[in-house]
């Protein structure tokens, strides 16, 4: 692949819109490209950066977290240490989300067993606590 890539070439490799690449430049995740005749021209290394970005996005990282992956560490910090630090936080976040999802699933299953004739009746039962065991929503 050429080392002097047009924005459309870079976008095509990753199935992105050119506006996304320009946005990544604007927010500082991708470096500004060289311009030739007013057109953006990228070195092949931008493909490697976008490959890392794509994997991070697929893993649930936000753009701010991706920026931290690239620029939030001392330059001598090796990639495994960067991935480990950010992954630990993301895993903790996912565990909290999974608890919330499990709670939502349980509540939805309880709602499927509803035998009320009107929503007001549901509300009355919820307030009085006479419906099935209350589920504690506290997530430790």
Burial class (CB in 10 A: 0-12, 13-18, 19+), 79: exposed
Task: Report pLDDT digits (tens) over 54-106.
Answer: 999 999 999 999 999 999 999 999 999 999 999 999 999 999 999 999 999 99
Residue 27 belongs to a domain? yes
Residue 124 belongs to a domain? no
SS3 139: coil
Residue 67 belongs to a domain? no
Helix axes 63-71, 45-58, angle to 10 degrees: 130
Domain CATH for 33: 1.10.1660.10
CB-based contacts of 94, cutoff 8 Å, min separation 6: 60
Residue 123 belongs to a domain? no
Angle CA 67–73–78, to nearest 5: 105
Does position 139 have pLDDT exceeding 90, yes or no?
no
Residue 99 belongs to a domain? no
Residue 32 belongs to a domain? yes
Query: What is the C-alpha to C-alpha distance for residues 134 and 9, in angstroms, rounded to an integer?
Result: 56
Task: Report pLDDT digits (tens) over 26-42.
Answer: 999 998 999 998 899 99
Residues of the domain holding 16: 1-60
Could you tell me the pTM of the whole model?
0.73
Task: Report pLDDT digits (tens) over 98-136.
Answer: 999 999 999 999 889 889 999 999 888 888 875 445 544
CB atoms within 10 A of CB 103: 15
pLDDT at 85: 94
Number of domains in the chain: 1
Reported as a pLDDT band with limits 50, 70 and 90, residue 1 is: low
Residue 17 belongs to a domain? yes
Residue 119 belongs to a domain? no
């Amino acid at each position: 692949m050429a080392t002097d890539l047009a924005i459309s070439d870079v976008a095509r490799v990753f199935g992105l819109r050119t506006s996304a690449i320009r946005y990544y430049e604007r927010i500082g995740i991708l470096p500004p490209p060289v311009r030739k005749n007013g057109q953006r021209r990228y070195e092949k290394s931008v493909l490697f950066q976008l490959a890392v970005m794509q994997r991070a996005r697929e893993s649930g990282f936000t753009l701010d977290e991706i920026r931290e992956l690239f620029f939030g560490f001392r330059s001598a910090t090796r990639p495994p240490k960067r991935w480990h630090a950010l992954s630990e936080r993301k895993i903790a976040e996912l565990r909290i989300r999974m608890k919330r999802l499990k709670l939502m699933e349980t509540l939805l299953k309880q709602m499927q067993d509803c035998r009320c004739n009107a929503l007001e009746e549901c509300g009355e039962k919820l307030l009085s606590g006479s419906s099935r065991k209350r589920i504690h929503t506290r997530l430790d």
